[in-house]
Structure 1
Amino acid sequence: MREAGEIEQEPTEGLEGLYRRYAHWLGERLGRRIDAADAADLVQETYLRIAPTDTGDIRHPKAFLLRVAMNLLRDRVRRDAKRRRAQDHAPHDASSADQPEAVFLKQIIASMPPLYRDVFVLSRFRGMTYNQIAILRDVSVKTVEWRMARALEHCARRLDE
């Protein structure tokens, strides 16, 4: 029988042992935040990232793997957002009929409080999901939802003026 303070340590046999033991678990955890195909890719990327690591030194394998995977996910979200920003800044040909509405829309968005505007732009113009925004901004999904609701209320008020 174990003492109450003793922590169960599962032995690891290198990278392969970690993979066999925790890959499915990690995929399920990531699958709660992103779709299954992306989660599977991220699991593979996680194990590639830790390949040079001496796995014998890992005291808490689940925490370690999840931290590496979440860091990779944040990097991916930031990279995708940067790519979208670069595409958005590419020159495009707007017809003269669209310009008054575009100017009005820019005014409405510019008048939003910065926290609401950030979530609104990332969601509506960058195509990011609430989960991706939450990860990028290091806030909860509920916070993102709340800020988006306030941003939409702001737009509705300005449109009614």
Structure 2
Amino acid sequence: MTGQAAIRHSKNPSGLGDLYLRHASWLSSRLRRLGVTGVDDIVQETYLRIAPYQARGEVRHPKSLLLRIATNLVAEEGRRTQRQRLHAATTTACNDAASQTEAVLLKQLILRLPQPERDIFMLSRFGSLTNEEIAARLELSVKTVERRITRALKQVDAQLRR
């Protein structure tokens, strides 16, 4: 059942349903002129929020109250969207800062390695070379390359645990 049909079938036909029939199209067109997107949802939420006032007979200037509620809803949605964008930007900035911090830390850890382990570690992890390719390039045995990588990893691990 659509919002209009639900309001028409409410218990009080001269209450909220009447208010809806008299002012919904006016409110929709007013919001569209203001450049609001999602007008139908805003109008529906506006009538949900005005219902308690209407039920108590407290609505003296319906157009004014409807427009106030609707503009408050639009502003609330704008603030929510702005908070979400700020949160996303903050999260991205924090992730970038964490990535930069991690990169600096990793660089420091690698620079603390002895030269032979450092060279092999860099070729293995950042050069994407296999142990066999590293051995051929540095004219070492594969077993020596494996031992140096193992030592480098142990040293990096020990430094991280400090």
**TM superposition score normalised by structure 1:** 0.46
Higher fraction of helix:
2
